[in-house]
Structure 1
Amino acid sequence: MNKLILAMAMLLPFVVSTANAAPAKAPLCAACHGAEGKAMIPGYPHLAGQNEQYLISSLKAYKDKQRNGGQAAIMQAQAAALSDAEIAELAAYFSKM
């Protein structure tokens, strides 16, 4: 029993680190919105800490070309390349920052 507890305790850091791992498409977002989700370019929104459902609905609106203005053309092209699963992964990741 003690060996099982010890083995589980040794795996905990790995589980925690992979749970917070960046999705594969996160570097695309970082180019404009910052590596930590905090944009360094004026006019670009911070993604870190945003509401997860808001991020999902925003990306889907860009993907469906229902959201315009500002950098819409750039965001529409970026969002068009994302699957619904990737959108959900990115939203979850940035909302937890």
Structure 2
Amino acid sequence: MTNAQKPNVVFILADDLGYTDLSCYGNAYHRTPNIDSLARKGLKFRQAYSACPVCSPSRAAIMTGKYPARLHLTNFIAGDRRDPASPLLPAQWTKYLPASEATLAELFKN
């Protein structure tokens, strides 16, 4: 692939940001002019899916294209929350993304 054929990708991830937090989606309380400009000139999602409701598994899913359950990374990495009153035991999960996983960055580099 020549330089002219290489993809030009900018991926912006804002942790804990909901679509209702942005003015381009109708929020009248927060001004987000730069993101609004990107939305006007680019692509705006109307339906979306998060692989997991916490950050680390979602990031791993974005980087690898795999569901968090396939990676056994189903909780935020720093977390080990347990409810002492709960009779349930927490699931066994991995607290890191294995180096053997191919990431988007590595695929783009190739």
TM-score (norm 1): 0.28
- Based on CA coordinates, which of the two structures has the bigger radius of gyration? 2
| Structure with the larger helix share | 1
Relative contact order, higher structure (CA 8 A, sep 6+): 1
